[in-house]
Amino acid sequence: MRPRALLGAATARLEAAGVPSPRHDAEELLAHVVGVARGRLFLLDEVGERELAAYDGLLERRALREPLQHLTGEAWFRHVRLEVGPGVFTPRPETELLAGWAIEQAPDGGVLVDLCTGSGAIAKAVADEAPDVEVHAVELDEAAHAYAARNLAGTGVDLRLGDAFTAFDDLLGGVDVVVCNPPYVPLEAWESVAPEARDHDPHLALFSGDDGLDAIRRLAVRAALLLRPGGVLGVEHADVQGEAVPAVLTATGRWSEVRDHTDLAGRARFTTARLAP
């Protein structure tokens, strides 16, 4: 079957199923099946019967809203490839902005801690783009930690299994940057979460109390203990928490220069603050 016709039918199928990016996903899945880069699909003359059957199976799973990254087994985050799948939070493109902020803030020879590392996305990006920074990361969930261990192998990142809000007693008062993409979805928002996340991401990585701020409240306290005076914190949050998260930090009396940042779509996305002297 000709790739152009195949992709057209696949795109329509995914669109009818409510998949947010049907053409992109149809192309990514076909590229995965035939083993070429997505940008080289136009060079294909035909797709064989065996590949067609495999492609049809993946399309069916995507139409049921299984995450694209689970079907391909990988996700790209800034400039690094990550192994992902069931049991680990799939990194989102918007988190790349928080990682970029952390890379800019981390001084050469400084110390950065990535709390709630999940797949290791932020930690790996920092290690890749700021090789002179000492990077530490922690993940509570054993399945997610196993993914992070594979993704961070050979990077020099110190990865630990444990609670983000009690870890790194050995680093207290000596960290330059704390970065965190914590769970922040309110339990009451269950129905509004996209099926790809609600039904496939670990709930430990998504939900955080009735108002979604439980983890961020703990983070505000722990980060203040980890950072040196003048060190900085960056934390991702939901787009409706652009006022609530800065308020959590301000209420502790430990933070200055509290500022919220928007993503490329203009939505509130992450908050930064500096530990007061």
User: Which positions make up the binding site for substrate?
Assistant: 181-184
Q: Alpha carbon 194 to chain centroid distance?
A: 15
Tokens of 183: 């769970």
**3-state class (DSSP) for residue 56:** helix
Q: Kindly give the pairing relationship between strand 175-180 and strand 158-161.
A: unpaired
Residue 2, classified by CB atoms within 10 Å of its CB into exposed (0-12), middle (13-18) or buried (19+), is exposed
Helical residues (DSSP H) of 176-255, grouped into ranges: 195-198, 214-226, 244-252
Angle formed at CA 78 by CA 94 and CA 35, multiple of 5 degrees: 110
The annotated binding site for S-adenosyl-L-methionine is made up of: 139, 181
b/e per residue, 104-134, with b = 16+ CB within 10 A?
ebbeeebbbbbbbbbbbbbbbbbbbbbeebb
Provide the CB-side half-sphere exposure for 12 (13 A, CA). Answer: 5
What is the three-class DSSP state of 195?
helix
Residue ranges of the annotated binding site are: 139, 181-184
Q: What residues contact residue 205 under an 8 Å CB cut-off, 6+ apart?
A: 88, 89, 116, 118, 141, 144, 183
Contact 269, 237 (CB under 8 A): yes
